[in-house]
Amino acid sequence: MPNPHVLIAGAGLGGLLSADLLLDRGLDVTLLERSAPLGGLAQTDEQAGFSLHRGPRALYRGGALRRLLLAQGIEVRGHVPPNRGVCASRGGDIVPLLGATKGGRWRLLPALTTLWRTSPAAVAHRGVSGWLAEQTRGNAEALAFLQAAVRIATYCAADDLSAEVALGQLQGAARGVLYLDGGWSRLVEQLARKVRARGARIVTEAAVHKLEHGPDGVRLETARGAYEGDAVVLACARPAAQTLLDGALAPAEPAQVSCLDLALRGTCRGPTLVLGIDAPTYLSVHSRVAALAPAGDEVVHVVGYDGAPRAALERVLDGWDPAWRDRVVHVRYLPRMNVTGHLPTGAEGGLAARASSDFAPRVQLVGDWVGPEGYLADGTAHSAEAACHCIAARLHRAPLAGAA
């Protein structure tokens, strides 16, 4: 009897991880990717020897994605950004981070103690803005500092973001993050090589435009023809999944940011990280931590929230290095980059409101917008494990080790 065959729509990190997990269970796998390059949001673009992410990216050392990558034999090479070199932007000036909070920094200590002692699930139904205001007890300086910390940890400035997400990300960041050598595409390349070597088929430029599923199997129609299988994993962006599922997903708002990605010749004395205290922005020089640029050069990312225009991001750069324009090798502006397909709010109960990975008996969902655990790439990892566990069980294979 032939092995059950699983189709995967999307060859980003979620799709590739799902393929590797399903191959562990002896299932046959075909991945269908709409574009020519693999990786989705994890793509890293090479420009004149520089490695540019699409916006700044950090891997949580204690998160689900790193745990799963290591369990699957994927090498994770990176470095922890140091605490030194962190400054704040206030009124266009770059100032020491502690100095930005003036006398409020001492009143920040009780709030930080509460943050580390509180379970994120306990505040899932709270909006982060109101919850942080309670913790800082009217101290505007301390509140501004914590709001800036939440923005960099969640890539979001929404007042109604669930405090569960904000607190979980802050606690995870306290355990350390990694900036990856060569960028996230190194993870994509390793996973793609591995699953191909194990027999998986990857078809590129094969955008899926129709899904049919029933008790006997699934059928996907793509730009490269039709594919049939015993089950399907939709590891694609939420709008694409919503279209394939005929609008069956509950409404959800995405989280988006604007960003400038820059390759710069030479270096400057500007700090490695700049948090916007009085404006929703931040700047990060990833290449001072990870191998992302030629020796003596820099890769810089500037992020803006709440629809911050390009001019606002350039003002941050002006404060960091007034001569940055003279050093530009390559610059890319992304006015509305998706951070996650579902922004979990307090009103809807936080992460639990996201779509279940187990959509239908033969249809599973994987992504940063799926499941009750993890945020951003860690949410993708959690949903991949959950989806592959369901498929393996229903196709009469042994459950995945460690899966819930």
* Domains assigned to the chain: 5-42+186-250+346-394 (3.50.50.60), 45-81+177-184+254-340 (3.30.519.10), 98-174 (no CATH)
List the structure tokens of 73. 């034999």
In angstroms, the CA 44 to CA 55 distance is 10
The number of residues in the chain equals: 404
- The interaxial angle of helices 377-394 and 64-71, nearest 10 deg, is 50
**pLDDT tens for each residue of the chain, 404 residues long:** 678 999 999 999 999 999 999 999 999 999 999 999 999 989 999 999 999 999 999 999 999 999 999 999 999 999 999 877 688 888 878 887 765 445 545 556 666 777 888 999 999 999 999 999 998 887 787 888 889 999 999 999 999 999 999 999 999 998 999 999 999 999 999 999 999 999 999 999 999 999 999 888 999 999 899 999 999 999 999 999 999 999 999 999 999 999 999 999 999 989 999 999 888 999 999 999 999 999 999 999 999 997 789 999 999 999 999 999 999 999 999 999 999 999 999 999 999 999 999 999 999 999 999 999 999 999 999 999 999 999 999 997 644 444 44
pTM greater than 0.85 (yes/no): yes
In angstroms, the CA 274 to CA 100 distance is 11
- The interaxial angle of helices 140-154 and 128-136, nearest 10 deg, is 140
List the structure tokens of 75. 């090498």
What kind and span of H or E run contains 274? strand 273-276
Cα 155 to Cα 99, 222, 276, 375: the distances in Å are 24, 33, 13, 11
